[in-house]
Amino acid sequence: MHYRDLREFLSLLEQENQLVRIKESVMPEPDLGAIGRAAPNLENGPAVFVEKIKGYKNSLVLNVQGSWQNHALMLNLPKDTSIKEQFFALDRLWNDYPVKPVWVTEKDAPVKENKIKEDINLFDILPLFRINKFDGGFFISKGAVISKDPEAPDDFNKENAGIYRIQVKGKDLVGIQALPFHDIAVHLRKAEESNEPLPVAICIGNDPLLNFMASTPIEYAQSEYDFTGALKGAPIELVKSETGDLDVPARSEIVLEGNILPRVRKIEGPFGEFPGSYSGARLQCEIRIHTITHRTNPIFENLYLGIPWTEIDYLLALNTSLPLYRQLKKDFPEVVAVNAMYTHGIGVIISTKSRLGGYGKAVAMRLLSTPHGMPYSKIVIVVDEFVDPFNLPQVMWAMTTRVRPSKDVVLIPNAPGMPLDPSSEPAGMQTKMIIDATTPVAPDVGRETELLEVPEKTEFWLDYLKRAMRKER
Amino acid sequence: MICPRCDSDAAELLVKAPVENAWEVYLCDACNFTWRSTESEEITDPARYDRRFKIDPLSIPDLPVIPPIPKLVK
């Protein structure tokens, strides 16, 4: 384990030249949104630590996970690890679930260093800013919201950590988007059926692996904390919240504690969303914040999202791909890897060996009937087992030299679609497209082709050059 | 104060900058829009706020409810 919390991870990024500090004072608008947009535009997008924001006391960090280099460092891998290698590393770590957390006392929990229980003013602690120009307000876009199942308060596995968009609507009032398929909506429904407030803790400035898992669609009764431990290779440290009997990360920067007001819905949004367009205004839930605990000199971590790729795409990338890979692999062992990184799996590339003619299409149809693929996936490309699905030039090579459009492109009209995909029409319906770019095998027939071979000793020289680039030679 | 987004006369000072007296943030009680005094006129001026994102206060009760409010269960 190379880091224990956000601060230690930022130090690691700085050592690896993956963090930029801005020391001069910047304006909240338009600078902070612009920084969040600019950083992932760079090939090796750094985290950006903004030390001073005009009018605010505390600092801000953006783009913590906004490059494959930072993503690799998060997984304790060398920063030049390829995406495919990161995918397989994540697959191996997934097997270690669960690694149970440990609970520490208050004196060992930095998040308890400061406590505010009256005169709450979020602007005192958080340097809030407008992320995209026509957002309806200032949003907390990278807070992990902790809540419990009111019917099973002692079932740790059902305690949820999820990242939901949060709009600041007052000094102590925020709105939250809980979509019906989100786990928190299950907790909320049970609370609202008995007209009870739902206690929540909004955790900000977390271990990056917790934010990664809080963005991952795992099962209802699987614990994000136990998964975080598995990916870290060590338990995450938790402490009890001040009220509401919630478990919160002991080493996070800031925890906002409050209650979702039962049976209340007020206008929220619009907000620039992950498909790269605004989602409209809706009537959504509100949370009254009654307690803040925070580390001394807390760091506000927030996330910019825009037309892909921005930081959010790294939080919807391998964690979308991996569950799909595992579901396919069960029945189609020839599948080598799945890249579902494009707009949360709306676009997917599968690499597989073909057992028989038409196999690529069969694998694609299975993907389109998985729980995630059914509504989300629209364009499925299937490539041979020796094509790296994370290497788009290779995928384009397969498309240009393997696809026979009259046989290999299939459209399935009027199938389930993802409502946030602006091309879904009506919202929630979509035509699916399969492009089979695998080489035909019997009983299918294709022209005889002899592929070029990789020269002997290429692996040796690849390793040599990589180490030379890392200055190990 | 007039809200730049919904044109209601329902906006009030929400908060002043914690330090430096650098800006104020306003909140509209009708449409929950918030803005900072130092933002561009395209955000702060009701006449210049982009029409595509204007909100009609009368339409607010008809917006979709997310998630739906369940029936009370004894």
Q: How many CB atoms lie within 10 A of CB A425?
A: 11
Q: Which of A89, A90, A70, A88 has its CA nearest to residue A80?
A: A70
Name the catalytic one among A253, A273, A286, A311: A273
Could you tell me if residue A289 is inside a domain? yes
- Same domain assignment for residues A240 and A330: no
Query: What is the rounded average pLDDT of the residues A281-286?
Result: 97
Mean pLDDT of A2-30: 97
- Do A277 and A424 fall into the same domain? no
Q: Helix, strand, or coil here: A63?
A: coil
Among A32, A116, A267, most B C-beta atoms within 10 A, so best to mutate, is: A267
- Cα Rg of chain A, angstroms: 23
pLDDT at A473 (0 to 100)? 58
Residues A287-332 have pLDDT tens digits of 999 999 999 999 999 999 999 999 999 999 999 999 999 999 999 9
| Whether pLDDT at A129 is above 90 | yes
| β-bridge pairing A379-383 and A102-103 | unpaired
Burial readout A105-118 (b: 16 or more C-beta within 10 A, e: otherwise): eeeebbbbeeebee
DSSP one-letter code for A26: B
List chain A residues with CB under 8 Å of B37: none
Looking at the 3D structure of chain A, how many domains does it have? 2
Q: Which band of pLDDT confidence, cut at 50, 70 and 90, is reported for residue A1?
A: low
Asked whether residue A24 is domain-assigned, the answer is yes
The C-alpha atoms of residue A325 and residue A184 are separated, in whole angstroms, by 26
User: B-chain residues within 8 Å CB-CB of A171?
Assistant: 14-15
Convert the pLDDT of each residue in A409-443 to its tens digit.
999 999 999 888 889 999 889 999 999 999 999 99
Rounded to whole angstroms, the Cα distance separating A345 from A298 reads 35
Residue B74: partners with Cβ closer than 8 Å, 6 or more residues away: none
Query: Residue B21 — pLDDT band, cuts 50, 70, 90?
Result: very high
Q: Is A273 a known active-site residue?
A: yes
CATH number of the domain bearing residue A14: 2.30.110.10
Cβ count near A343 (within 10 Å): 21
Q: Which residues contact A219 (CB under 8 A, 6 or more apart)?
A: none
CA torsion A39-A42-A44-A50 (nearest 10°) is: -20
Classify residue A33: in a domain, yes or no: yes
The dihedral sign for the CA sequence A288, A291, A294, A298: positive
Residue at A444 is within a domain: no
| CB neighbour list of residue A270: distance below 8 Å, 6 or more residues apart | A134, A135, A136, A278, A279, A280, A281, B53
Residue B31: φ, ψ to 5°: -120, 5
Q: Is the domain of A344 the same as that of A300?
A: no
How close is the nearest chain B Cα to the Cα of A99, in Å? 33
> Of A10-19, A234-243, A275-284, where does mean pLDDT reach its minimum?
A275-284
Range of the domain at A119: 6-313
Q: Which member of B18, B21, B27 has the closest CB to residue A170?
A: B27
**What SS3 string covers A399-422?**
HHHHCCHHHHEEEEEEEECCCCCC
Same domain, A31 and A10: yes
B47 CA to chain A: closest CA distance, Å? 15
Chain A interface mutation, best of B66, B71, B72, B73, highest count of A Cβ atoms under 10 Å: B66
Q: Which residues are paired to A116 by β-bridges? A: A292
In this structure, are A116 and A212 located in the same domain?
A: yes
Is residue A195 located within the same domain as residue A86?
yes
Are A110 and A251 a contacting pair, CB within 8 Å?
yes
Percent of chain A scored above 70 by pLDDT?
Answer: 99
- pLDDT (mean) for A446-463: 93
Whether residues A308 and A391 fall in one domain: no
Q: Name the residue in chain B with its Cα closest to that of A54.
A: B22
A27-39: average pLDDT: 98
Same domain, A198 and A334: no
A179 contacts in chain B (CB < 8 Å): 66-67
Domain boundary among A259, A290, A313: A313
Domain-embedded: residue A194: yes
Average confidence (pLDDT) over A364-381:
95
- Give the nearest partner residue to A123 out of B21, B25, B50, using CB atoms: B25
Asked if the C-beta of B55 comes within 8 angstroms of chain A's C-beta atoms, the answer is: yes
Same domain for A246 and A145: yes
Preceding omega of A426 cis (within 30 degrees of 0)? yes
Whole-number pLDDT of residue A449 = 87
- Cα of B24 to nearest chain A Cα, Å: 9
Judging contacts by C-beta atoms under 8 Å, the chain A residues touching residue B41 are none
- Please report the beta strands in B1-74, taking only residues with DSSP state E, as ranges in sequence order: 11-16, 24-28, 34-36
- Between chain A and chain B, how many beta carbons pairs sit less than 8 Å apart? 113
Q: A194 and A97, same structural domain?
A: yes
A291, A313, A335 — which closes off a domain?
A313
- Tell whether B14 lies on the interface with A, counting CB pairs under 8 A: yes
Does A300 lie in the same domain as A170?
Answer: yes
Tens-digit pLDDT profile for residues A163-193? 999 999 999 999 999 988 889 999 999 999 9
∠ Cα B22 B25 B31 (to 5°)? 165
Residue pLDDT, tens place only, A59-106 = 999 999 999 999 999 999 999 999 999 999 999 999 999 999 999 999
Measure Cα distances from A286 to A126, A244, A339, A420, B68 in Å: 18, 17, 36, 22, 14
User: Phi/psi of residue A365, each to 5°?
Assistant: -65, -35
What is the tens place of the pLDDT at every residue in A385-410?
A: 999 999 999 999 999 999 999 999 99
- Tokens standing for A140? 């907390």
Min Cα separation B74/chain A (Å): 7
